Amino acid sequence: MKTFRHLLALSLTCAALALLRAEPVPAAPAPAWQLKDVDGKVVSSEQFKGKVVVLDFWATWCGPCRMEIPGYVELQKKYGKDGLVIVGVSLDSDRHADQTVKDFVQKYGVSYQIVMGDDAVQAAFGGMDAIPTTFIIDRNGQIRDRKVGAEPTADYEQAILKYLK
């Protein structure tokens, strides 16, 4: 796993890039993944076939990541019935990371799926130069958008809606 110093540098980079917006990317198959949630239950990308998935790489200590969470909660609530699934991939890596993330989820009312990331899933998605890094995966399992940094919920909602229809 990444060191604390490396993750702190990612957070600072993230803050500097907080309003950077990537354009949609050419469709490419999303890597398959299998990770554990904060309770140790295995969650797999296979579970979300046929759904539009927002896959958000984040950490509890990342300010811009934390700013986006209430918006993701609202988007999940608003569009879950239409096939939207938000999955937060926590990159917290201290020795108590599972409990730290579990406590965070409870404290802030995170109502969407949270899993604990690892180096392999980061590498499969091209590595994380900064967090949050967020992908939109369409119903056919194709990566359609990659966003680095935070973005206002209303703006990101427009990007998601292209693939929900």
* 46-101 pLDDT, tens digit each: 999 999 999 999 999 999 999 999 999 999 999 999 999 999 999 999 889 999 99
The two tokens of residue 146 are 């990659």
CA dist 107 and 154 (Å) reads 24
Model's pTM, two decimal places? Answer: 0.85
CA dist 132 and 147 (Å) reads 8
Active site residue 14: no
Catalytic residue among 62, 87, 105, 137: 62
Query: What is the residue-averaged pLDDT of the chain?
Result: 89
| Domain boundaries, position 132 | 4-164
Catalytic residue among 17, 18, 38, 65: 65
* Cα end-to-end span (Å), the chain: 38
CATH no. for residue 76? Answer: 3.40.30.10
Q: Based on the structure, what is the number of domains in the chain?
A: 1
